[in-house]
Amino acid sequence: VGAAAVRRQLGLARSSARARSSARPAAGQRFGYLIVIDFEATCWRDAARGGSEIIEFPAVLLNTSTGEIESEFHTYVQPQEHPILSEFCTELTGITQNQVDEGVPLNICLSQFLKWIQKIQKEKKIIFSTDILSNSTSEAKACTFIPRLYDCLVRFIIHKVIFLKWFSLHYEEAFYNRKPKGLNGALQDLGIAFAGREHSGLDDSRNTARLAWRLICDGCVLKVTKSLDKVTYEFCALIPKTSGY
């Protein structure tokens, strides 16, 4: 039996053993909502080549009480430095040249994203704070971000959108005491089939939300793992890494 099959079997066993717990989230969750973000960027077969630019900007809003994705934001972004996608990039992400050509510049994307944030804040009574518990009597629901990000692409986004606090699912490795290979591997370990296409930003975001929900149902109380009290351009070392997820 191959290693992947063993992981799936173990994951399914865990799934059965935790069936009762997976029906209801862990008590005391600080966040009523999570926003999962997973960019896709320009890339080349030669990994040493730098200068990656965001080409897909997705975000999904997860309700931590129900496990439902209640809203989504998604747009393709026009790369400026390298406007022509490599063949490798299209093969990996499934993003076509036509899609980025019909996308929007990053500054327009950020403006649209901020409008989406404002819309869900109003509709869901969301606040970006850790001062309240999601199960408190207050109508306001605390929210934070799960950015599955890499290198320094995030610095401009943090500067513009001010993600002052966030947490990374990198620490789910510690909760389950294992080190899976990639997002798909993390899901397989828990007996969860990846839904959609790997390296699609939107599908990766949705699947990361499913992983977060599983953590919650298995008893993990999610907490902020990273924060920035002062936004500058000099904080690449503070950006959460996710072991190649």
Instruction: Say how far apart CA 238 and CA 240 lie, in whole Å.
Output: 6
Instruction: Say how far apart CA 72 and CA 194 lie, in whole Å.
Output: 18
- Residue in 40, 53, 56, 172 annotated catalytic: 40
Decide if 190 contacts 172 (C-beta within 8 A): no
Q: Residue 211: which residues within 8 A CB-CB, separation 6 or more?
A: 169, 172, 183, 186, 187, 190, 192
The answer to whether 199 is a known catalytic residue is yes
Grouping H, G, I as helix, E, B as strand and the rest as coil, residue 59 is strand
DSSP state of 229: S
Decide if 180 contacts 71 (C-beta within 8 A): no
Q: Give me 156's structure tokens.
A: 């401009």
N-term to C-term CA, the chain: 25
Rg of the chain over all Cα atoms, to the nearest angstrom: 18
- Residue in 74, 81, 199, 234 annotated catalytic: 199
The answer to whether 40 is a known catalytic residue is yes
Active site amino acids: 40, 199
